[in-house]
């Protein structure tokens, strides 16, 4: 490639940006990935951990699932409970498919290692990046670092730099529509050095608020508590966290979460967000730059991988055959899946959380819906097929 040019400039080295760069490499398409943070930051930040059956298939087909297949925890279902009484949703029985617990940071590590092994151009701590001439045939990336300016011309740009990144902010406000809902609660999440004492995730509805028992590896558990969005993490001592987890997750059969040293803790607000369209000129948005879902439905990273699957195929069609049809339909194709995931994530969130504005009627209705889910095979199958991942639409 000539200096100062790449076919596809990718902003962001999260799962979306890295996976897109790898898929393009498999198709013989050159890309440069620009990331504001350090490599260690990207590899260590704690994010999602549940991969749909669909996402595992994508990673396997791309040849980057070797460690995933060795170390991922394959789950055939989840449990949903109300005040200590649990009901299992059997994914394998309902759909013939499973999910795999494998942390987002592990996916990022695998993709970074593969791109570097393949000679990929990944630039961490790249400085101040701005995007220009998005509607021209060759948009421009301008990089300011150490009092120097570098410019990179591209055929296309992929904005994979998250909700707070520069990509979506580079699009004129009048050219896009934003759809957003902010929830009146947050999640307090912890990583604990405690071997998992359950084989599957437990989602628990409780009068004190929602709680989730999850895991990341055979020695690390990941747990969440519903809390106020304005909570101060300093008010949550380790003892208080474990006391609240025991209160909300304790089961009628005597099970309760095994405590251990807390390695990390944080509070994350919850929102639903979609931008339409996902394209402006030669800039295409993917992952959290285009959409955010509440984590209850485990869709964030999975949607990002689906986005770049479609974008990779569309760019391959353009470079191989000069066919722009898939690029023109990229936004519409992705949005069909995005809104289905938004619906499911909203439904799971509404089903399991205590909303402060709920009336006694709302709470009775919520419990009736949980009881229906426990008694109805059709309802369980609907949850299962959405959770394990809907099929990818052909393009």
The catalytically annotated residue of 25, 291, 299, 316 is 299
The catalytically annotated residue of 102, 224, 310, 387 is 387
Task: Please tell me the predicted confidence (pLDDT) of residue 51.
Answer: 97
Q: Which domain holds residue 43?
A: 5-72+102-181+270-354
Task: Please tell me the predicted confidence (pLDDT) of residue 3.
Answer: 80
Task: Please tell me the predicted confidence (pLDDT) of residue 394.
Answer: 77
Task: Please tell me the predicted confidence (pLDDT) of residue 342.
Answer: 97
CB 88 within 8 A of CB 97: no
**Residue 310 annotated among the catalytic residues of the structure:** no
Distances (CA, A) of 32 to 156, 179, 202, 305, 324: 11, 30, 40, 18, 22
The catalytically annotated residue of 15, 259, 294, 295 is 295
DSSP labels for 290-311?
A: TEE--GGG--HHHHHHHHHHHH
Q: Answer yes or no: is 224 within a domain.
A: no
Q: Answer yes or no: is 215 within a domain.
A: no
CB 126 within 8 A of CB 146: no
The catalytically annotated residue of 203, 213, 280, 310 is 203
Q: Answer yes or no: is 196 within a domain.
A: no
Q: Answer yes or no: is 200 within a domain.
A: no
Residue of 296, 274, 271, 293 lying closest to 349 (CA atoms): 296
DSSP labels for 57-93?
A: HHHHHTT--HHHHHH-EEESEEEEEETTEEEEEEHHH
- Helix, strand and coil content of the chain, in percent to the nearest 5, comes to 40, 30, 30
**Residue 97 annotated among the catalytic residues of the structure:** no
**Residue 261 annotated among the catalytic residues of the structure:** no
Q: In whole angstroms, what is the distance from residue 8 CA to residue 376 CA?
A: 48
Q: Answer yes or no: is 169 within a domain.
A: yes
**Residue 203 annotated among the catalytic residues of the structure:** yes
Q: Answer yes or no: is 10 within a domain.
A: yes
Q: Answer yes or no: is 291 within a domain.
A: yes
* Tens-place pLDDT, residues 291-325: 999 999 999 999 999 999 999 999 999 999 999 99
The CATH number assigned to the domain holding 45 equals 3.50.50.60
With residue 203 as reference, give the H or E element that holds it.
strand 202-205
Task: Please tell me the predicted confidence (pLDDT) of residue 227.
Answer: 97
Domain count across the chain: 1
Task: Please tell me the predicted confidence (pLDDT) of residue 218.
Answer: 87
Task: Please tell me the predicted confidence (pLDDT) of residue 84.
Answer: 87
Residue of 374, 362, 353, 345 lying closest to 207 (CA atoms): 353
Q: Answer yes or no: is 204 within a domain.
A: no
* Residue given tokens 């499973």 in the structure block: 98
Task: Please tell me the predicted confidence (pLDDT) of residue 83.
Answer: 81
* Residue given tokens 């599957």 in the structure block: 200
* Residue segments in the chain with a per-residue pLDDT below the cut of 50: none
**Residue 295 annotated among the catalytic residues of the structure:** yes
């Amino acid at each position: 490639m000539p200096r100062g040019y790449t076919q596809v400039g990718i902003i962001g080295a999260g799962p979306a940006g890295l996976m897109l760069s790898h898929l393009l490499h498999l198709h013989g398409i050159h890309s440069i990935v620009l990331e504001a943070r350090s490599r260690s930051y990207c590899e260590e930040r704690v994010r999602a951990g549940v991969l749909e059956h669909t996402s595992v298939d994508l990673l396997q087909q791309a040849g980057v699932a070797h460690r995933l297949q060795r170390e991922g925890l394959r789950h055939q279902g989840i449990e949903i409970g109300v005040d200590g009484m649990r009901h299992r949703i059997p994914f394998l029985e309902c759909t013939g498919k499973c999910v795999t617990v494998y942390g987002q940071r592990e996916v990022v590590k695998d993709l970074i290692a593969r791109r570097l092994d393949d000679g990929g151009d990944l630039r961490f701590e790249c400085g101040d990046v701005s995007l220009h001439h998005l509607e021209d045939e060759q948009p421009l990336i301008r990089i300011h670092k150490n009092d120097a300016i570098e410019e990179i011309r591209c055929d296309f740009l992929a904005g994979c730099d998250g909700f707070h990144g520069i990509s979506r902010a580079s699009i004129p406000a009048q050219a896009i529509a934003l759809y957003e809902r902010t929830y009146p609660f947050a999640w307090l999440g912890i990583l604990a050095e405690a071997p998992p004492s359950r084989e599957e995730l437990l989602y628990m509805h409780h009068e004190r608020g929602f709680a989730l028992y999850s895991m990341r590896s055979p020695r690390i558990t990941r747990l969440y508590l519903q809390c106020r969005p304005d909570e101060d993490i300093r008010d949550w001592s380790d003892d208080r966290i474990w006391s609240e987890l025991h209160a909300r997750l304790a089961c009628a059969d005597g099970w309760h979460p095994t405590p251990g040293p807390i390695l990390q803790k944080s509070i994350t607000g919850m929102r639903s967000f979609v931008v339409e369209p996902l394209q402006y000129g030669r800039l295409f948005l993917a992952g959290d730059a285009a959409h955010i879902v509440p984590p209850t439905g485990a869709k964030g990273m999975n949607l990002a991988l689906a986005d770049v699957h479609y974008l990779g195929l569309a760019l391959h069609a353009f470079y191989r055959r000069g066919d722009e049809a898939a690029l023109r339909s990229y936004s519409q194709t992705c949005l069909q899946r995005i809104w289905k995931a938004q619906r499911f994530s909203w439904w799971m969130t509404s089903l399991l959380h205590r909303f402060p504005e709920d009336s006694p009627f709302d709470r009775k209705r919520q419990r009736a819906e949980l009881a229906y889910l426990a008694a109805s095979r059709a309802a369980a199958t609907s949850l299962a097929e959405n959770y394990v991942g809907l099929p990818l639409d052909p393009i």
